[in-house]
């Protein structure tokens, strides 16, 4: 069943814009680290910590939106319940948990409310993706069983 609605197309465009936006942001960060640090109130931290605290979410965002682009290809192709999407959800969950772990370490040394919120959001995002991975895996198994029956 292949149904490409306007919502699918708009969402695809938004995911593509997010990918290229995070790519541009990741390129921009090293050149503007001092300006960004002033606005994010992390100017007193060592430069390596500042760069890691700003680059890690940008790189993870690029990776996550890249995986979403991969999944959208199968959705627009009419077959979203494939092993590639199951793996993509697992990879997105790992990226979320990785950012959460790094920000947990950052929270230990430099506790702020924003850092705690990032840790919580990453944990919920990772768990959400693992749940969707299991749902897609079950749908894939049902689909395989149905294809063998016919």
Convert the pLDDT of each residue in 83-102 to its tens digit: 999 999 999 999 999 999 98
Residue 76 belongs to some domain of the structure = yes
Q: Range of 120's domain?
A: 6-149
Residue 63 belongs to some domain of the structure = yes
What global pTM score does this model have?
0.83
Residue 25 belongs to some domain of the structure = yes
- CB distance 86 to 133 below 8 Å: yes
Name the domain count of the chain. 1
Other CB atoms within a 10 A radius of the CB of residue 110 amount to 13
Those residues with Cβ within 8 angstroms of residue 137's Cβ, 6 or more apart along the chain or in another chain: 86
Residue 69 belongs to some domain of the structure = yes
The predicted structure's pLDDT at residue 37: 62
The predicted structure's pLDDT at residue 148: 75
Of 5 and 101, the structure prediction assigns the larger pLDDT to 101
- CB distance 44 to 19 below 8 Å: no
What's the number of CA atoms in the CB half-sphere (13 Å) around residue 2? 7
Q: Which helix (H) or strand (E) holds 34?
A: helix 33-39
Alpha carbon 76 to its chain centroid, in Å, reads 20
What value does the mean pLDDT take over residues 113-134?
Answer: 94
The predicted structure's pLDDT at residue 9: 84
The predicted structure's pLDDT at residue 1: 53
């Amino acid at each position: 069943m292949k149904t490409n609605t306007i919502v699918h197309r708009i969402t695809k465009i938004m995911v593509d814009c997010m990918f290229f936006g995070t790519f541009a942001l990741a390129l921009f960060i090293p050149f503007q680290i001092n300006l960004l640090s002033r606005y994010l109130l992390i100017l007193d931290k060592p430069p390596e910590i500042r760069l890691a605290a700003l680059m890690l979410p940008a790189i993870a965002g690029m990776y996550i939106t890249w995986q979403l682009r991969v999944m959208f290809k199968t959705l627009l192709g009419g077959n979203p319940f494939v092993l590639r999407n199951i793996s993509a959800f697992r990879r997105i969950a790992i990226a979320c948990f990785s950012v959460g772990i790094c920000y947990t370490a950052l929270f230990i040394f430099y506790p702020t409310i924003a850092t705690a919120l990032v840790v919580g959001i990453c944990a919920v995002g990772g768990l959400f993706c693992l749940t969707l991975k299991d749902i897609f895996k079950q749908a894939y198994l049902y689909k395989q069983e149905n294809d063998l029956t016919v």
